[in-house]
Amino acid sequence: MAYEILVLDIDGTLTTSEKKISKETLDAVLATQERGHKVVLASGRPTPGIRALAKEIKLQEFGGVILSYNGAKIINCQTEEVIYQKKLPQDVIPALYEAALEFGVGIITYEDTGVVVGTARDKYMELEAKINNMPLHDVDNFAEYVTFDVNKCLMTGDPEHLAEVEQKMKERFGHILNIYRSEPFFLEIVPQNVDKADSLKHLLDHLGLSHTQMISCGDGYNDLTMIQYAGLGVAMANAQQVVKEAANYITRSNDDNGVAHVIQKFM
């Protein structure tokens, strides 16, 4: 099979434990693009939190793609065309804000200039801002401020309490939203039926490619669907066990140039 498109999760996959791209992996990703293969960065991160890495691997130069918010938005880096997106219903934002206040958890969302903070800051918001290299922006009234299109909100809190909040949020909003924890302290709130595989179907249709021509590499629960969907689903050596079980191939770890190994072996 001639693989034409390489889909890479970021944290725990493309980047090392230090959140950096190793030289060997960078060289391999650049080389595969020079040979005409398309690269997609597919992450739960917001779009602005991916752009620095996209620039580092020259997605703009080679016409690569950013798939952000776990699939809620897809952008062509060369043209800035929004290929696909799903947005949270605007009328649900006030209800999410009220729920965050009611349950005593944090709530944030994203705009191009930073992370919008709707409640008192906590260490988990600080971590999210650091991961994405984005500043925090406190607002007095989250519901009144967020009048722009939103692909994702994130609730934050101590893991034990957030586990209880997750169940309450699903009971209240599960009929219109997809709600799940990406980390014990992060509760993701995205439009219904948003996941990486579903969005990649739209991207492949746009590009005129088949899923059999795609390699997907990941390590986390939110990578499971795209690994199952790809022609070649690859789990990192550091991946969750369920991800390894779903994969066609297990590569080296993110700290041992696992992505470079996949490119050299299959592309």
106-119 pLDDT, tens per residue?
999 999 999 999 99
CA separation for the pair 157, 159 (Å, rounded): 6
Whether 236 and 13 have beta carbons less than 8 Å apart is answered as: yes
Domain 5-85+194-266: assigned CATH number: 3.40.50.1000
Bridge-based pairing state of the strands 214-218 and 232-235? parallel
Q: Give the span between the Cα atoms of 123 and 249, in whole angstroms.
A: 36
Q: What is the pLDDT of residue 86?
A: 95
pLDDT at 205 over 80: yes
CA–CA gap between residue 93 and residue 228 (Å, rounded): 32
Tokens standing for residue 11: 């944290």
Q: What pLDDT is attached to residue 222?
A: 87
CA distance 169 to 187: 10
Rounded distance between C-alpha atoms, residue 204 and residue 185, angstroms: 33
Q: Where are the domains positioned within the chain?
A: 5-85+194-266, 90-191
| pLDDT at res. 1 | 65
List b or e across 131-163, with b for residues whose CB sees 16 or more CB atoms inside 10 angstroms: ebebeeeeeeebeebbeeebbbbbbbbeeeebe
pLDDT of residue 221: 86
pLDDT tens-digit series, residues 128-141: 999 999 999 999 99
Q: What does the alpha-carbon distance between residue 84 and residue 74 come to, in Å, rounded to a whole number?
A: 5
Across residues 151-158, what is the average pLDDT? Answer: 97
Tell me 157's DSSP state.
-
Distance in angstroms (rounded) separating the CA atoms of residues 124 and 242: 26
Q: Return the bridge partners of 82, or none.
A: 75
Strand partners, 117: 108, 138
| 90-191 CATH | 3.30.1240.10
DSSP letter for 58, please. Answer: T
Cα 76 from Cα 96, distance rounded (Å): 30
pLDDT at 67 over 80: yes
260's CB contacts (< 8 A; 6+ apart) are: 22, 24, 25, 27, 28, 29
> Taking the alpha carbons of 51, 79, 228, 44 in that order, is the dihedral positive or negative?
positive
In angstroms, what CA-CA distances link 147 with 88, 143, 177, 258? 11, 8, 18, 41
H or E element, residue 97: helix 93-103
Which amino acid is it at 241?
Q
Comparison of pLDDT for 31 and 195, the residue scoring more: 31
Rounded to 5 degrees, φ, ψ at 185 are: -110, 5
pTM above 0.85, yes or no: yes
pLDDT over 80 (residue 8):
yes
* 157-198: pLDDT as tens digits: 999 999 999 999 999 999 999 998 888 899 999 999 888 999
